[in-house]
């Protein structure tokens, strides 16, 4: 037995040595070589540890920031001037930027990252049109339960094919048709608000607008894209919200999960898989029901019908996407349900917060809307005349962009600006920081000044490519037109009907849960105009 034990011990020792050697030569040397190439071009960063890279330092900095936030409770938004939350949500990026500038490299485990907030790189990132850059694979893998293998997270030729099918359905001529449905959904929500306020002079009502706007935005998606009302898709949206919170627990941006974490998170992973299957099942039921309804009517086709027809009729879907038309439809519907309603609802919520803090802009929007739409009805013709609400929306998306990052992975060596970036590097552009650069936006970069957009984005800042609330380059959000029209409609109608201010109970505390949203909701007090 002793001899057998010695043999087993030796075998295990050899296996361990083999793993260590493989790790060093196959992984660590690769990331070290990436750092060497970047360092030769003047790109430095915090020195990494052997096994975990800069993860221990990142977690330490995050804990320090959390402790500081606990010692200083969240302020009422009326005393917030700078609106800058990056030092709380992403303190390691803020600290390292002060040390290394707007371009530096760091690592998480064996992954090498490039913090790229340098203007020249961002400009090139906005203009590049090749497939050498894509969404970071390790991040999109974590988001697969909520996004599927849709156009939002696919890369390369698969992404290009999906974009070819999906993008035309969000062109402005299609969105123009959806505007009436957006107005219907807005009117339904505002009637509920009026009912809560009542008819008495001076009466007010406190409303949790973040949840109300989620329901509104979900209703718009349901009506405009899937031919049904919010109530019909309520189970889908509620399950997506739970799934979003589960996926956002911890920091998935670090890209590293220890073995102990994997063991302890097994119940959570099982719950995520269960939710994923339930959501996909509910969406497919909606698709099949819509197919039956469409076979009995010749009404205008909604987005779901158009996606179904494109997926069914395009023979390259199955061949190039390595999945059935059913999977293609369900995954892209899942991403539209989530990305299409969550980001827009959060942007509308931040818009109302800023307008509550700046009632003079309520007056400007109301006056302009009354002149353009005296009967209170808005359409695509009048939307183009609403300059003030457009400026407020653009400024809100500058200060509170729902997406915090433009994130890319280099699939081959790529030049951006004056830097040649090796294959396998993960690029991170922190949008809220880019949107607050004094060199780009001026001395009032941290202030709410919608008038900066009076002559459009091109005149609002020194480098228009630095304004990226919808991402950059060919990966620009496909729903941009849809979101902007929806935001202008809902904000205009709310301001037209109500005056509002922040509730004394509201405490300003932005939180990152895949998107930047109010941590504790948004309570606003409304009064009829």
3-state helix, strand, coil in the chain (%, to 5): 60, 10, 30
Q: How confident is the model at residue 223 (pLDDT cuts 50, 70, 90)?
A: confident
Task: For residue 480, give Cα distances in angstroms to 94, 173, 189, 226.
Answer: 28, 13, 23, 18
- What does the alpha-carbon distance between residue 249 and residue 217 come to, in Å, rounded to a whole number? 24
pLDDT at 254: 61
Please check whether residue 400 is in contact with residue 349, taking contact to mean a CB–CB distance below 8 angstroms: no
pLDDT-wise least confident of 150-154, 179-183, 226-230, 271-275:
226-230
- What confidence tens digit (pLDDT) does each residue in 240-259 have? 888 888 887 766 566 555 54
Query: Which has the higher per-residue pLDDT, 502 or 318?
Result: 502
3-state secondary structure 366-413: HHHHHHHCCCCCCCHHHHCCCHHHHHHHHHHHHHCCCCCEEEEEECCC
For 283-289, the CB contacts below 8 A with 24+ separation are: 283/236, 283/330, 283/333, 283/334, 283/337, 284/326, 284/330, 286/226, 286/228, 286/232, 286/233, 286/236, 286/333, 287/329, 287/330, 287/333
- What confidence tens digit (pLDDT) does each residue in 290-300 have? 777 776 665 56
* CA dihedral sign of residues 196, 200, 206, 211: positive
Q: What percent of the chain has pLDDT over 90?
A: 44
Q: How confident is the model at residue 129 (pLDDT cuts 50, 70, 90)?
A: confident
427-444 mean pLDDT:
94
Query: Which has the higher per-residue pLDDT, 201 or 227?
Result: 201
Angle (nearest 5°) at CA 288 between 173 and 309? 40
Does 2 have pLDDT greater than 70?
A: no
For all residues of the chain together, what is the average pLDDT? 85
Does 340 have pLDDT greater than 80?
A: no
pLDDT at 244: 84
pLDDT at 4: 65
pLDDT at 297: 63
Task: For residue 351, give Cα distances in angstroms to 32, 379, 394, 487.
Answer: 44, 21, 10, 9
Does 235 have pLDDT greater than 70?
A: yes
Angle (nearest 5°) at CA 298 between 296 and 299? 115
Does 44 have pLDDT greater than 80?
A: yes
Query: Which has the higher per-residue pLDDT, 6 or 529?
Result: 529
pLDDT-wise least confident of 229-243, 291-305, 424-438:
291-305
pLDDT at 296: 65
Does 189 have pLDDT greater than 90?
A: yes
Task: For residue 161, give Cα distances in angstroms to 147, 247, 311, 378.
Answer: 17, 27, 10, 36
Sequence-ordered list of residues with C-beta below 8 angstroms from that of 184, at least 6 positions apart, any chain: 223
Q: How far is CA 502 from the centre of its chain?
A: 25
Sequence-ordered list of residues with C-beta below 8 angstroms from that of 48, at least 6 positions apart, any chain: 35, 54, 106, 107
The stretches of 227-358 forming alpha helices (DSSP H) are 230-248, 259-264, 266-294, 303-313, 316-321, 325-357
Q: How confident is the model at residue 238 (pLDDT cuts 50, 70, 90)?
A: confident
pLDDT at 20: 62
Q: How confident is the model at residue 19 (pLDDT cuts 50, 70, 90)?
A: low
Q: How confident is the model at residue 307 (pLDDT cuts 50, 70, 90)?
A: confident
Domains of the chain: 18-528 (1.10.630.10)
- What confidence tens digit (pLDDT) does each residue in 346-392 have? 999 999 999 999 999 999 999 999 999 888 888 888 888 899 999 99
Buried b / exposed e over 108-124, threshold 16 CB at 10 Å, is bbbbbbbbbbbbbbbbb
pLDDT at 500: 97
Does 186 have pLDDT greater than 80?
A: yes
Q: What angle, rounded to 10 degrees, do the helices at 266-294 and 303-313 form?
A: 90
Query: Which has the higher per-residue pLDDT, 152 or 81?
Result: 152
Q: How confident is the model at residue 329 (pLDDT cuts 50, 70, 90)?
A: confident
Does 17 have pLDDT greater than 70?
A: no
Query: Which has the higher per-residue pLDDT, 462 or 313?
Result: 462
Q: How far is CA 225 from the centre of its chain?
A: 20
* φ and ψ of 114, to 5 deg: -130, 115
pLDDT at 9: 65
Specify the pTM.
0.88
Residue-level length of the chain: 529
Closest listed residue to residue 324, CA positions, set 280, 359, 389: 280
């Amino acid at each position: 037995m002793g001899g057998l034990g010695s043999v087993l011990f030796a075998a295990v020792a050899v296996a361990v040595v083999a793993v260590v050697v493989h790790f060093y030569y196959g992984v660590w040397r690769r990331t070290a070589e990436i750092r060497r190439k970047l360092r030769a071009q003047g790109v430095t960063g915090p020195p990494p540890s052997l096994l975990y890279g800069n993860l221990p330092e990142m977690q330490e900095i995050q804990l320090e920031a959390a402790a500081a936030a606990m010692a200083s409770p969240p302020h009422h938004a009326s005393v917030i001037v700078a609106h800058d939350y990056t030092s709380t949500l992403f303190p390691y990026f803020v600290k390292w930027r002060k040390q290394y500038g707007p371009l530096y490299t760091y690592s998480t485990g064996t992954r090498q990252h490039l913090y790229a907030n340098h203007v020249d790189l961002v400009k090139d990132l906005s203009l590049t049109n090749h497939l050498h850059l894509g969404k970071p694979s390790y991040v999109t893998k974590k988001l697969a339960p909520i996004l599927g293998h849709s156009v939002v997270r696919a890369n390369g030729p698969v992404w290009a094919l999906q974009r070819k099918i999906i993008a035309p359905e969000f062109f402005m001529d299609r969105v123009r048709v959806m505007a009436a449905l957006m107005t219907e959904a807005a009117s339904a929500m505002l009637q509920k608000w009026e009912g809560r306020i009542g008819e008495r002079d001076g009466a007010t009502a406190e409303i949790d607008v973040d949840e109300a706007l989620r329901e509104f935005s979900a209703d718009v998606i349901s009506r405009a894209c899937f031919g049904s009302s919010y109530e019909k898709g309520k189970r889908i949206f509620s399950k997506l919200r739970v799934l979003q919170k589960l996926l956002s627990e911890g920091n998935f941006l670090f890209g590293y999960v220890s073995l102990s974490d994997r063991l302890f998170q097994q119940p959570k992973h099982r719950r995520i898989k269960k939710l994923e299957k339930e959501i996909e099942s509910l969406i497919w039921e909606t698709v099949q029901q819509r197919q039956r309804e469409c076979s009995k009517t010749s009404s205008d086709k909604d987005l779901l019908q158009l996606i179904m027809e494109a997926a069914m009729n395009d023979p390259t879907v199955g061949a190039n996407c390595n999945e059935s038309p059913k999977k293609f439809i369900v995954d892209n519907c899942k991403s539209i349900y989530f990305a299409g309603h969550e980001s827009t609802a959060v942007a509308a919520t931040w818009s109302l917060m800023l307008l509550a803090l700046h009632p003079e802009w309520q007056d400007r929007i109301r006056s302009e809307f009354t002149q353009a739409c005296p009967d209170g009805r808005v359409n695509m013709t009048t939307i183009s005349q609403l300059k003030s609400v457009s400026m407020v929306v653009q400024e809100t998306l500058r200060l509170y962009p729902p997406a915090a990052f433009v994130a890319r992975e280099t699939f081959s060596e790529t030049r951006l600006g004056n830097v040649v970036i090796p294959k396998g590097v993960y690029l991170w552009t922190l949008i809220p920081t880019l949107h607050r650069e004094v060199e780009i936006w001026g001395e009032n970069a941290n202030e709410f000044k919608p008038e900066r957009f009076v002559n459009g984005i091109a005149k609002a800042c020194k480098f228009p490519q630095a304004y990226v609330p919808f991402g950059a380059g060919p990966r620009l959000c496909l729903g941009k037109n849809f979101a902007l029209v929806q935001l202008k409609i809902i904000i205009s109608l709310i301001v037209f009907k109500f005056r509002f201010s922040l509730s004394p109970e509201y405490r300003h505390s932005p939180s990152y849960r895949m998107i930047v949203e109010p941590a504790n909701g948004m309570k606003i007090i409304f009064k009829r105009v």
